[in-house]
Amino acid sequence: MEEAIVAENLVKRYGNVEAVRGISFRVKRGEAYALLGPNGAGKTTTVRMLTTLTSITSGEAYVNGHNVKTERLAVRRSIGLVPDISNLYEELTVEENLRFMAKLYDAPRERIAELIKDFNLPAGMKFGKLSSGFKRRVTIAAALIHEPEVLFLDEPTTALDINSAKAVRGLIRLLNKRGMTVFLTTHNMLEAETIPQRIAIIRGGKIVAEGRRNELKKLVGRRILVRLSVEPITSSLLKKLEPYKPAFEEGGIVLEVDEPDEFLRFIFSLRSELGFRIDHICTELPSIEDVFVELTEGGCPCGGCPL
């Protein structure tokens, strides 16, 4: 099977509330895939369904070819989960926690020393005494104890300081480079920009867009921004720039263009004609944040919930 994760029309209902409303996606082996969405969009519920932590109301899901509903133990053997909180045992040391995990997953004892070395972990310290960053690293190490084929990470850098978050992102990229399938949920734009090859944007329990970063960026209504700093700004220059809707900001002018190459040729020809000096010019593509804001703003599509 080429796909590591397959979700078909997944639905999760808690009483009258439908947390996940018929989502479908496929994640290829070795791919890093992110589920991006605001709080309460259904990201964690989706991870919990795929990792057998919560039952599926309807629909089908397969992880590593195993049916999540009927082959729970096989699914659990082949996955690692890093939940949204670092949930290891506070009174046990790092090494004791890893040893316990190794026993649960029938992993060889040598793996504990390997992980302690690779992740540079303080083996003898109690988990409860560690900083948030180290707790996160130990939690990721624990999820890798049995060398799973698929790693699920639920908001892996939440509540981490900038340096710890950067280290965790680097670690996830490295694991993915080594061939591990990574399924990530996040509302952190930097994570979405730097880790996954494909992103699905989820809102109100439904996937509203899916694709590679560049494909998603094309969905945004706004064009490419050009930031321009010139001297002097004359009325004849502004008249020529009028089709690009110029707006003033500190240090220059911001314009919206469709074709940056064409615009650059135009601005340099204008310079020869009007004789101004270009101090600075740069283009800015729409970011994943722009895509996210555009697709998730304006409340939940169902119209009946507070999202």
Partner 1 sequence: MKILAMAEKELREYVLKPGSISWGIVFPLVFTLAFAIRFGDVDHLAPGLLSISVLFGTTSFVSSSVIFERRLRTFERLLVAPVGYFEIVLAKVLVGSLFGLFVGFTSLLFLRPFTVYGVWNPWLLLLFLTLSAMCFSGLGLYIALIVENPINAMTWLNLIRLPMMFTSGAIVSLLLFPHWFLAVGLATPMTYSVEGLRFSMLHYYDVVNPLYSLLVLLILTLLFLYLSTSRLENLY
Contacts to partner 1 from residues 85-104, by CB under 8 A: 85, 87-92, 96, 100-101, 103-104
- State CA 169 to chain mean position distance: 10
* Residue number, 1 or 73, with CB nearest to partner 1: 73
Neighbouring-strand partners of residue 284: 225
The burial class, CB within 10 Å (0-12 / 13-18 / 19+), for 45 is: buried
54 touches partner 1 (CB under 8 A):
yes
* Residue number, 88 or 141, with CB nearest to partner 1: 88
Residue choice 70, 73, 242, 261 for contact with partner 1 (CB under 8 A): 73
Using alpha carbons, select from 167, 199, 205, 174 the residue that is nearest to residue 185: 199
53 touches partner 1 (CB under 8 A):
yes
What CA–CA distance (Å, rounded) separates 23 from 85? 25
Task: Choose the binding region for partner 1 from 7-15, 47-55, 115-123, 195-203 (rule: CB under 8 A).
Answer: 47-55
Residue choice 44, 45, 46, 52 for contact with partner 1 (CB under 8 A): 52
Q: Give ∠ CA 230-234-235 in degrees, rounded to 5.
A: 135
* Residue number, 41 or 101, with CB nearest to partner 1: 101
Contact present, 222 and 286 (Cβ < 8 Å):
yes
Contacts to partner 1 from residues 142-201, by CB under 8 A: 142
Contacts to partner 1 from residues 109-148, by CB under 8 A: 142
Q: Return the H-helix or E-strand segment holding 59.
A: strand 58-63
- Give the Cβ contact number of residue 269 at 10 Å: 10
At a CB cut-off of 8 Å and minimum separation 6, what does 290 contact?
217, 220, 222
55 touches partner 1 (CB under 8 A):
yes
Residue choice 105, 119, 266, 276 for contact with partner 1 (CB under 8 A): 105
Task: Choose the binding region for partner 1 from 13-21, 74-82, 163-171, 243-251 (rule: CB under 8 A).
Answer: 74-82
Residue choice 7, 61, 81, 253 for contact with partner 1 (CB under 8 A): 81
- Nearest distance, CB of residue 254 and partner 1, angstroms: 46
Task: Choose the binding region for partner 1 from 15-23, 73-81, 192-200, 243-251 (rule: CB under 8 A).
Answer: 73-81
Contact present, 159 and 128 (Cβ < 8 Å):
no
The burial class, CB within 10 Å (0-12 / 13-18 / 19+), for 145 is: buried
- Give the Cβ contact number of residue 97 at 10 Å: 24
Task: Choose the binding region for partner 1 from 35-43, 84-92, 210-218, 284-292 (rule: CB under 8 A).
Answer: 84-92
Q: Which two tokens stand for residue 268?
A: 């340099």
* Residue number, 6 or 101, with CB nearest to partner 1: 101
> Which residues are at the interface with partner 1 (CB under 8 A)?
51-55, 73, 76-77, 79, 81, 83, 85, 87-92, 96, 100-101, 103-106, 142
